[in-house]
Amino acid sequence: MELELKEVLQIVKRKLWIIISVVLIACLATAIFNIYFAKPIYSTSTKLIVNKSSDSSNTEKLDLGSLNANIQLINTYKEILKTPAILDKVAADHPEFNLSSEGINSRITVTSKEQSQVMTIGVQDTSHTRAVGIVNAVAEVFKQEIPRIMKVDNVTILSEAKVVQNPSPISPNIKLNMVIAVIASLLISTGLIFLLEYLDDSIKSEKDIELALGVPTLAMIRKIKKKDLKGRHKASYQRVAGEKTYASSNG
């Protein structure tokens, strides 16, 4: 069944209540879920720098070779930081987190930019305070354990995470979720009304008759409204009353 633009607009106008209802329900459900059920997720981070190299006499060196070596170490350090050698100690030293090393591992990310000596440790958690505690603890334990593991003390903590008042969660993003809900519900409701229109084989116009039977329409019966019936009854009553009056006057 091919639909012209005018027919499409007529269908949308006729079924507009479905679109509005679906959009309103979707927006209401999204708002309720995000406000009352979705747990907020907070994110915080700290930065470390791999920047020192010591020889046997503990004299610090800083040259191009050591810089390149430190940059090459970044990938190794990123792997070490997420191993039980670090996270088991964090979990043991901080029982207040109530997390195993696996639980801590699932919450942290370690990133670095290309050709940079700086590592960023990020933590996401449902508690802002705990996220700050975890990221600082991981950074401190990592700094302490690297000399034992790598036999070199070349990690410095650049910045510690701080607990802030009224932190903003990174999730849920209510505004973004509402926009997504509106767009998705518009697409779904529009698709629904056209599906219903496609499945509806009832005859609504003379054009439908011509398409179904393949013959031209010769006549149409107009839809009779209640007010038309009332008008006809009133006119009929007046005519009958007039005839009775005429008959009585002639009698």
In a domain, 73, yes or no: yes
- Do 137 and 47 lie in a common domain? yes
- Do 63 and 117 lie in a common domain? yes
Q: Ranked by mean pLDDT, which of 52-56, 105-109, 232-236 comes out on top?
A: 105-109
Over residues 105-121, the mean pLDDT reads 94
pLDDT value, residue 208: 62
In a domain, 236, yes or no: yes
* pLDDT above 60 for 82: yes
In a domain, 211, yes or no: yes
Torsion angle in degrees (nearest 10) through CA of 140, 145, 146, 148: 160
- Do 49 and 148 lie in a common domain? yes
| Poorest-pLDDT segment among 15-24, 58-67, 170-179, 193-202 | 58-67
Rounded to an integer, what distance in angstroms lies between the CA atom of residue 186 and that of residue 203? Answer: 27
In a domain, 145, yes or no: yes
* pLDDT above 90 as % of the chain: 58
pLDDT value, residue 56: 43
Rounded to an integer, what distance in angstroms lies between the CA atom of residue 101 and that of residue 9? Answer: 59
Buried b (16+ CB within 10 A) or exposed e, 136-173: bbbbebbeebbeeeeeebbbeeeeebeeeeeeebebbe
pLDDT tens readout for residues 29-40: 999 999 999 999
- Do 48 and 150 lie in a common domain? yes
- Do 226 and 239 lie in a common domain? yes
* pLDDT above 70 for 239: no
Omega before 172 within 30 of 0, i.e. cis: yes
In a domain, 167, yes or no: no
- Do 56 and 108 lie in a common domain? yes
pLDDT value, residue 221: 66
Name the band, by pLDDT with cuts 50, 70 and 90, for residue 72: confident
Over residues 2-25, the mean pLDDT reads 86
Residue 30's closest CA among 192, 167, 176? Answer: 176
- Do 9 and 85 lie in a common domain? no
State how many domains the chain has.
Answer: 3
pLDDT tens readout for residues 153-198: 989 999 999 999 999 999 999 999 999 999 999 999 999 998 988 8
pLDDT value, residue 59: 45
pTM: 0.68
Q: What is the DSSP letter of 92?
A: H
Name the band, by pLDDT with cuts 50, 70 and 90, for residue 250: low
Residue 120's closest CA among 43, 223, 214, 210? Answer: 43
pLDDT value, residue 67: 73
* pLDDT above 90 for 43: yes
- Do 136 and 244 lie in a common domain? no
- Do 122 and 223 lie in a common domain? no
pLDDT tens readout for residues 121-153: 999 999 999 999 999 999 999 999 999 999 989
- Do 155 and 176 lie in a common domain? no
Instruction: Give the residue, 73 or 24, on which the prediction is more confident.
Output: 24
The CATH number of the domain holding residue 107 is 3.30.70.1130
Rounded to an integer, what distance in angstroms lies between the CA atom of residue 140 and that of residue 216? Answer: 87
- Do 100 and 153 lie in a common domain? yes
pLDDT value, residue 57: 45
In a domain, 165, yes or no: no
In a domain, 229, yes or no: yes
pLDDT value, residue 68: 78
**Which residue in the block uniquely carries the two structure tokens 């350090």?**
77
Range of the domain at 186: 5-37+172-199
| Poorest-pLDDT segment among 181-185, 200-204, 223-227, 241-245 | 241-245
- Do 94 and 150 lie in a common domain? yes
* pLDDT above 70 for 1: no
In a domain, 166, yes or no: no
